[in-house]
Amino acid sequence: MSHELLDLASFQHPNNAPIDWKAVKSSGIAGVIIKITEGTNYVNPWIDRTKNPLGADDIADAQAAGLLVNGYHFFHPGTDKIAQADYYLANGGNRVPGAWLDAEVTDGANWSQIATDLQGCHDYLWTQKSKPTGLYDNVTWTNNLGDEQWNWDIWLADPSNEAPQDARVNWQYGTTTVPGIQGQVDRDRWVADNAKFQQYFGAPPTPTPSPAPPANPTQGYYMVASDGGVFAFGGAVFHGSMGGKPLDKPIVSMTTTPDGGGYWLVASDGGIFAFGNAPFFGSMGGRPLDKPIVGMQVTSTGKGYWLLASDGGIFAFGDAQYEGSLPSVGVSVTNIVGMTT
């Protein structure tokens, strides 16, 4: 059963900005995974009130808002694996039910050594410290480590696919804005069962209320520029944009969630950028296209969308059903510009 999660670190406090955890909870988020330590010389300054400039404690404050909390350790191969595990536990890891080992840097070690170090840290935490422990990595690391063969809980970062098989427990599917947090934050979807969720978070997920639609959502509208800039008018609420950020291809369309609490931008290469409460269900970014994408349409549930190409090709994601396309019926055109349901 899927549950919406966030993973975050001190980067989610730009210019010491606080997080409104109640707003995060109200947006439909079930839990958060917070960076606690890195190597043996870094502790997240936002998990200790006595050292934080605002007296904040992300672990305690998130829990007080009703969110379930787990933690992760940014792993450094070549640094003593047991020392890293103990450092995590001693500096906040003992306050959360589980542990995730974030594998992103090699530090000059070869893949065999990295696998050995990760295995040693994992086994020490789980078997000797009774701390449920999983591995966070991406497709490149999965391929190099061969971790799909390990009997591990895998949290996979793969924004280009829909619920990839290698994400056996948790799937980091994209980056969006979320009410209560300034700037972008990574979004995750729990894909294992509730028993596994309780093992890592200490409690089963609780139902969260749907976010309230903005006031007078029909009395407003958006405009989007090809550089990803978003402009909101009237009752339309600004949730973020790609303005000023690098894009492989220009933005060609946008559409809102049914409740008006978020929106998607789509680029001509099929890349999708989700903001507000708009979930990421997949994209055509990085995949071959016969013709560029020119538009998109969301399903009535808000749990899927279609992408439209200029040749009438259709690409369906989430609960959007593929019903056919112009190329599939032998119609050859290149001037399609829009669709509706």
Instruction: Indicate whether 68 and 170 sit together in one domain.
Output: yes
**Binning pLDDT at 50, 70 and 90, where does residue 210 land?**
very low
pLDDT digits (tens, 9 = 90+) for 122-149: 999 999 999 999 999 988 898 888 866 6
Residue 206 lies in a domain: no
Q: Directed axis angle between helix 81-90 and helix 111-123, to 10°?
A: 40
**Binning pLDDT at 50, 70 and 90, where does residue 216 land?**
very low
Residue 338 lies in a domain: no
Provide the domain limits for residue 57.
3-201
Exposed e or buried b for every residue in 271-284, given b needs 16+ CB within 10 A? bbbbbbbbbbbbbb
Token digits of residue 118: 């990760």
Residue 334 lies in a domain: no
pLDDT digits (tens, 9 = 90+) for 242-253: 888 888 899 999
**CA separation, residue 268 to residues 161, 167, 247, 263, 287 (Å):** 18, 28, 10, 17, 12
CB 164 within 8 A of CB 158: yes
Instruction: Indicate whether 42 and 182 sit together in one domain.
Output: yes
Instruction: Indicate whether 235 and 120 sit together in one domain.
Output: no
Instruction: Indicate whether 37 and 74 sit together in one domain.
Output: yes
Instruction: Indicate whether 173 and 292 sit together in one domain.
Output: no
pTM: 0.65
Instruction: Indicate whether 50 and 186 sit together in one domain.
Output: yes
Tell which of 154, 173, 201 closes a domain.
201
Q: What is the mean pLDDT of the chain?
A: 89
What pairs with residue 68 in β-bridges? 31
Instruction: Indicate whether 167 and 307 sit together in one domain.
Output: no
Instruction: Indicate whether 38 and 104 sit together in one domain.
Output: yes
> Percent of the chain beyond pLDDT 90?
62
Q: What is the dihedral of CA 93, 95, 96, 100, to 10 degrees?
A: -10
Instruction: Indicate whether 196 and 227 sit together in one domain.
Output: no
Residue 57 lies in a domain: yes
Instruction: Indicate whether 164 and 280 sit together in one domain.
Output: no
Residue 340 lies in a domain: no
Token digits of residue 254: 């946008």
pLDDT of 310 reads: 96
Residue 49 lies in a domain: yes
pLDDT at 217 over 50: no
Instruction: Indicate whether 171 and 320 sit together in one domain.
Output: no
Number of domains in the chain: 2
What pairs with residue 1 in β-bridges? none
Residue 58 lies in a domain: yes
Tell which of 201, 236, 262 closes a domain.
201
Residue 85 lies in a domain: yes
- Which residues, at least 6 apart from 94, have a Cβ–Cβ distance to it below 8 Å? none
Q: What is the CATH number of the domain that holds 179?
A: 3.20.20.80
Range with the lowest mean pLDDT among 220-224, 238-242, 328-332? 238-242
Instruction: Indicate whether 9 and 104 sit together in one domain.
Output: yes
pLDDT of 166 reads: 59
> Got the DSSP string for 195-213?
HHHHHHHSS-----PPPPP
